[in-house]
């Protein structure tokens, strides 16, 4: 049993609602306020069970036996997934009224950047629910069952997806070009060309991601947001964002969002999940 700490406020209801909506069958489950998921960390496989304790501002972590040799790395990944090192007061002060409805909102990250990159590609042009369902099919087809955790699989490794048949992936319900993009991504990861860690210049990193087949600006930015947990990403071309900024061009939206630097990722989340938000007309 391990304990991680976080600074209040933390909107656990929002965070778990976000993750639950995207939960992938075979690797993620929720039981009430308890989040359980499988992971592979440096070849070690197992499940981790996460339970927030709002009265003590802590997160209780249970790791299955297979993960104990890499416990410190698991805890670090959990901190990134749940943005536990965030200072919410600093961000709320910087965002002003935008953050007033949810001052405890955090930036959902990931436990594995490669997994998040594949999920970003699978989520293109489909609903959140359909993306989760399709990812579950990929997990069942290419992942490996966990012997000590019946019902759970590990997310497919780069080796498994690099060796996948694009027609097999297509049969799961995706365009063949998307299947080929995933296979190319997996091989690039094995070859060390895909940037799993955030570069010093995130904007240049996002541009580099767009050189990979099947990764456009939106997918690259969304991956940076979650896979790298980049704090200063904004998506002026996003459909929902363009709706919020009705009558403004993407260039105008981009300039408007500069006021929230260096926390534009948090601003983006607040705008996405605040239905009645509108930009100030004088700006």
Q: From CA 49, how far away is CA 54, in angstroms rounded?
A: 16
Asked if 112 is an active-site residue, the reply is no
Structure tokens at 112: 């594995």
> What is the three-class DSSP state of 31?
strand
* Marked catalytic residue, from 83, 112, 232, 238: 238
Helix (DSSP H) and strand (DSSP E) numbers for the chain:
13, 7
Residue 124 CA to residue 214 CA, distance in Å, equals: 9
Provide the 3-class DSSP secondary structure of residue 90: helix
CA atoms of 256 and 207, how far apart (whole Å): 21
Q: Does residue 34 sit in helix, strand or coil? A: strand
Taking a C-beta distance cutoff of 8 angstroms, is the pair 90, 19 a contact?
no
**Distances in Å between the alpha carbon of 109 and those of 18, 115, 159?**
11, 11, 23
DSSP codes, 233-258: ---TT-HHHHHHTTT--HHHHHHHHG
**Measured distance CA(193)–CA(203) in Å, rounded:** 17
Comparing C-alpha atoms, which of 225, 222, 269 is closest to residue 14? 269
Report residue 59: phi and psi, to 5°: -125, 120
Distances in Å between the Cα of 49 and the Cα atoms of 1, 3, 59, 63, 166 are 10, 12, 10, 7, 34
Token pair belonging to 10: 């933390």
Catalytic residues: 238
């Amino acid at each position: 049993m391990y304990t991680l700490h976080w600074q209040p406020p933390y909107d656990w209801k929002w965070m778990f609602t976000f993750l639950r909506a995207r939960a992938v069958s075979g690797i993620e489950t929720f039981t009430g306020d308890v989040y359980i998921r499988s992971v592979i960390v440096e070849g070690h496989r197992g499940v981790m069970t996460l339970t927030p304790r709002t009265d003590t501002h802590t997160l209780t972590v249970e790791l299955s036996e297979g993960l104990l040799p890499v416990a410190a790395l698991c805890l670090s990944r959990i901190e990134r997934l749940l943005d536990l090192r965030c200072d919410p007061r600093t961000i709320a002060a910087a965002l002003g009224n935008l953050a007033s409805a949810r001052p405890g909102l955090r930036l959902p990250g990931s436990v594995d950047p490669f997994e998040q990159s594949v999920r970003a590609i699978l989520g293109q042009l489909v609903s959140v629910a359909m993306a989760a369902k399709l990812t579950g099919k990929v997990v069942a087809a290419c992942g490996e069952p966990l012997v000590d955790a019946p019902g759970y699989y590990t997310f497919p490794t780069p080796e498994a997806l690099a060796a996948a048949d694009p027609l097999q992936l297509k049969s799961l319900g995706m365009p063949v070009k998307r299947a080929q993009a995933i296979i190319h991504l997996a091989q690039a990861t094995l070859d060390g060309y895909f940037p799993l860690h955030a570069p010093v210049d995130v904007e240049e990193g996002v541009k580099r991601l767009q050189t990979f087949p099947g990764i456009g600006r939106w997918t690259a930015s969304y991956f940076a947001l979650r896979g790298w947990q980049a704090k200063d990403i904004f998506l002026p071309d996003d459909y929902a964002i363009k709706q919020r900024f009705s009558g403004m061009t993407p260039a105008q939206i981009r300039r408007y969002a500069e006021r929230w630097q260096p926390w534009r990722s948090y601003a983006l989340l607040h705008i996405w999940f605040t239905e009645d938000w509108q930009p100030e007309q004088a700006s």
